[in-house]
Amino acid sequence: MATPSQPAPAATGAPAPVRRSRKIVLALAVLSTLAAAGGAAVFFMRGNAVLAAPAPKPVKPIFVTLEPLTVNVLPDARQRFLHVGLTLKVNDEKAQARVNEAMPELRSRLLLLLSNRDPAGLASLEDKLALADQIRTELNRPVAKGLPPQGIEGVGFTAFVLQ
């Protein structure tokens, strides 16, 4: 099978080129597998290190409940009233103390804000959400010049009756 221009592989003592290329391919496959395994190990170890870090402790919300209010709203064909209960979500204990100290002023502001309402503008969910935002803005105003805002984050309705 050997041709005159090529000597037989056994006669030269050199390994066959096919076997050398198989060894190279096998070596490259082993190296790439090890590299992939090492990369995966680093990836998962970093991921576990991030997951193992202690999560920040959630801040417990502080709520201040206001006594329910009943106010007359703008009359249409008949006399109408609004009965509303509110809970205020505040930033911290200092804000809670400021709200409790200023409660008479805040209730007065709330009565004035609610009594100047059109009953038709209080019917939909969007109207109630807008009202809650207006209440938060109004009650957050400082009660006196030089004092900080009340620190109210949100307003929640616990009762809402329009008759």
Q: How confident is the model at residue 109 (pLDDT cuts 50, 70, 90)?
A: very high
- The helix (H) or strand (E) run that includes residue 162 is strand 152-162
pLDDT of residue 117: 86
Q: What is the mean pLDDT of the chain?
A: 83
Write the DSSP string, 118-160.
-GGGGSSHHHHHHHHHHHHHHHHS-SSTTPPP--EEEEEEEEE
Percent share of the chain, pLDDT over 70: 83
To which residue do tokens 């209440």 refer? 135
Residue where one domain finishes, among candidates 6, 24, 52: 52
Asked whether residue 8 is assigned to any structural domain, the reply reads: no
State the residue range of the domain holding 132: 62-162
Percent share of the chain, pLDDT over 90: 45
* Buried-exposed string 92-123: b where 16+ CB fall within 10 A, e elsewhere: eeebbebbeebeeebeebbeebbeebebeebe
Q: Are residues 41 and 100 in the same domain?
A: no
pLDDT of residue 16: 54
pLDDT digits (tens, 9 = 90+) for 127-153: 999 999 999 999 999 999 999 998 999
Asked whether residue 6 is assigned to any structural domain, the reply reads: no
User: Where on the phi/psi map is residue 162: left (φ > 0), alpha (ψ -120 to 50), or beta?
Assistant: beta
pLDDT digits (tens, 9 = 90+) for 6-65: 555 555 555 555 567 788 877 888 888 888 888 777 777 776 555 556 777 777 889 999
Q: Are residues 69 and 112 in the same domain?
A: yes
pTM of the model: 0.63
Q: How confident is the model at residue 104 (pLDDT cuts 50, 70, 90)?
A: very high
